[in-house]
Amino acid sequence: MCIIASVPRGTTIDKPTLETMWQHNSDGAGIAWIDEGKVRVFKTMKLKPFLKKFEEVQKTYGDSDILVHMRIATHGSVCMDNNHPFNVDTQTVFAHNGILPQQFHPPAKRDISDTRYFNETFLQYQKLAALDDSRYIDHLGSVIGSFNKLVILSANPKLSRDSYIINEASGEWADGIWYSNDSYLSYSRKMKWGTQSYQNSVSRTAGLNTSKSTKSTDIGANCTIGNTTDSFDEFDVETMAQWGLAPADAWKDVEVRELTFELMTVYGYDTPQDMMEDFCWQVRKHGKQYRIECQFCHATLDINQYWPDCKVTCKNHVEYGDFHFPVDVEDQEISEEEVLIDSDNEEDWYIEDVDAKMEAEKIEQRQLPFSEKER
253-278 average pLDDT score: 77
Query: What type of residue sits at position 268?
Result: G
Q: What is the pLDDT of residue 203?
A: 35
Residue 77 pLDDT > 90: no
Closest by alpha carbon to 161, among 84, 88, 68, 92?
A: 92
Q: pLDDT digits over 91-142, tens only?
A: 999 999 988 888 888 887 777 788 888 998 999 888 888 999 999 999 999 9
2-11 average pLDDT score: 94
Q: Which residues have CB under 8 Å from 6's CB, separation 6+?
A: 65, 67, 68, 151, 163, 165, 177, 178
75 backbone dihedrals φ, ψ, rounded to 5°? -125, 135
Residue 166 pLDDT > 80: yes
Q: Which residues have CB under 8 Å from 162's CB, separation 6+?
A: 9, 34, 64, 65, 153, 154, 155
What share of the chain in percent tops pLDDT 90? 35
Q: What is the pLDDT of residue 129?
A: 86
Q: pLDDT digits over 272-317, tens only?
A: 887 888 888 999 998 888 999 999 999 998 666 678 888 888 887 7
Top-confidence residue, 16 or 191: 16
Q: What is the pLDDT of residue 32?
A: 95
Strands 349-351 and 289-294: unpaired
212-238 average pLDDT score: 43
Residue 82 pLDDT > 60: yes
CA distance 183 to 344: 47
Top-confidence residue, 238 or 104: 104
Q: What is the pLDDT of residue 108?
A: 72
The CATH code for residues 3-179 is: 3.60.20.10
Strands 172-174 and 177-179: antiparallel
DSSP 8-state class, residue 256:
H
Cβ-count burial 217-240 (b if 16+ within 10 Å, e if not): ebeeeebeebebeebeeebbbbbb
32 backbone dihedrals φ, ψ, rounded to 5°? -130, 145
Q: What is the pLDDT of residue 356?
A: 54
Is residue 106 reached through a cis peptide bond, with omega within 30 degrees of 0 on the bond before it? no
What beta strand segments (E) does the chain contain? 3-7, 29-35, 38-44, 66-70, 86-89, 92-97, 149-154, 163-166, 172-174, 177-179, 281-286, 289-294, 300-301, 339-341, 349-351
Neighbours of 259 (CB within 10 A): 20
The pTM (predicted TM-score) of the whole model is: 0.55
Averaged confidence pLDDT in the chain: 75
213-236 average pLDDT score: 40
Q: How confident is the model at residue 319 (pLDDT cuts 50, 70, 90)?
A: low
Q: How confident is the model at residue 345 (pLDDT cuts 50, 70, 90)?
A: very low
End-to-end CA distance of the chain: 30
Give the start-to-end residue ranges of the domains of the chain. Answer: 3-179
